[in-house]
Structure 1
Amino acid sequence: MAIIHKANLSPTKLEIIADYLPTQPWFIQDGTPELIGAYRFDDPAGEVGIETHVVAAGERIYQVPLSYRGHELGGADEWLIGTMEHSVLGKRWVYDACADPVYVKALATAILTGQEQAALLVEGESEPRPSSVTVKGSGTLDGGVPALSASAPVSGSGVTIIDAGGLKLKVARVVDVAADASATTASAPELHHELILSGQWAGLDKPVELAAVIRD
């Protein structure tokens, strides 16, 4: 369960995302970014915030995974998006989560084991809040995930590929909202996908593919 603090952020998450997107090769500058929603994964150690934002800009939908840390992530300066002041937690370092090993592990776990997004419990409230984006992995693995090693993600053609050692992950940066994730799962052998993370939000009539385990 992800604990959400009632806090002020400076700059805001959307401000950080709006500055970050134009620097990415998969972003087409055809509109002002607007937040559609977000989903979270849990860090079992409770140290890293893992939140993926779904953003509209022009006619395209983008997926922006971020990780929030209380300290700098060693060796990840290239993937540091910026810092923010959190009125409860203090200074937070914000990273492109595709380069954060905690996110990579959480994403792989969700896909392989069929997990959903983390429940959101706002500090001071007794009942979890619904997530604005719901996700679910297509796997059914019961024995956990293989040991993973971090490596620099590689982006191009609207996707980011993460070679995590024990497996490779594909994260959609430009989301194909016209494609049916259930159809993708059924035809996985032909598409070289083994398992996927599908997602849905208000205004979509079917889930779409957000990430996948891929075969060489």
Structure 2
Amino acid sequence: MALLYQATVRPSKLELLSGWLPGRPWYSGPAGKMRHVASFRFDDPAGAVGMETILVRVGDGPVHQMPLTYREAPLPGADAWLLGTAEHSVLGMRWIYDGVGDPVYAAALAGAIINGTGQAEKLVQVDGRLVRREPDMSVLGGGAEAVVLPAVREIERVTEDDPTVIVTDTVELVVVRRLDVGVELADVVLRGAWPGQETPAPLASARIR
């Protein structure tokens, strides 16, 4: 379950991405104001880290996949993945990271792919009630709940390319950044569909080391 708040965030996620994404070595679109295409969330069992994967584009440029994590304090050793900080009107200061450098995101992604857990249900607080928000995209892993997934404790290295490779102590993950180039992934694959992309496209893959 992903609990969302009716809140303001300054600067907004799209403002941070508009300044940060064009400087990445794998980004292939024009510079400019990012617009939201679709998104999905994972759930942190500990309830400490927010996780949201946003699909964005500039104008009619290519769609890029950007996983984000939201933390209440800096993640030690992850300065290279920090987009910036933002003030959340309910939760206070948030440190916002590219999720590929965050072990909590790596663990959630591995579970979604290998155990087929998919995305978290979105619930919004409205007048003291929790209201379900319909997802604007669907994601589905290719694994099964019966597979025993070893715990992800740390990230050993990240190869920042397209696709981006995340090597953890137990699982190797591959995350596609640009989603319109027809990348084929091996191992167990997470696929997603969104308005304008009705045929599920590969988003990421995973294999147990």
**Structure 2: which 5+ runs fail to align?**
none
- Find the counterpart in structure 2 of residue 169 from structure 1: 173
2:146 pairs with 133, 142, 148, which one?
142
Relative to its length, the structure with more helix (as a share) is 1
The C-alpha deviation readout for 1:63-94, integer Å capped at 9, x for no partner, is 00000000111111111110000000000000
2:83 pairs with 81, 84, 92, which one?
81
1:208 pairs with 201, 204, 208, which one?
201
8 Å contact 2:29–2:62 — kept in the other structure? no
Distance in structure 1 (CA, Å) of the matches to 2:113 and 2:29: 31
Relative to its length, the structure with more strand (as a share) is 2
8 Å contact 2:44–2:51 — kept in the other structure? yes
The two structures have a TM-score, normalised by structure 1, of 0.88
Distance in structure 1 (CA, Å) of the matches to 2:93 and 2:130: 27
Q: Quick one: which amino acid aligns to residue 151 of structure 1?
A: E
CA shift at 1:177, angstroms?
6.2
Percent identical: 40
Q: How many residues align?
A: 204
Distance in structure 1 (CA, Å) of the matches to 2:208 and 2:62: 27
Distance in structure 1 (CA, Å) of the matches to 2:175 and 2:11: 26
**Structure 1: which 5+ runs fail to align?**
185-190
Distance in structure 1 (CA, Å) of the matches to 2:206 and 2:199: 21
1:1-216 correspondence runs (5 A): 1-30=1-30, 32=32, 33-57=34-58, 58-124=60-126, 125-148=129-152, 149-156=154-161, 158-176=162-180, 178=182, 193-214=186-207
Residue 175 of structure 1: SS of its match in structure 2?
A: coil
RMSD: 1.9
Q: Quick one: which amino acid aligns to residue 36 of structure 1?
A: V
CA shift at 1:29, angstroms?
3.8
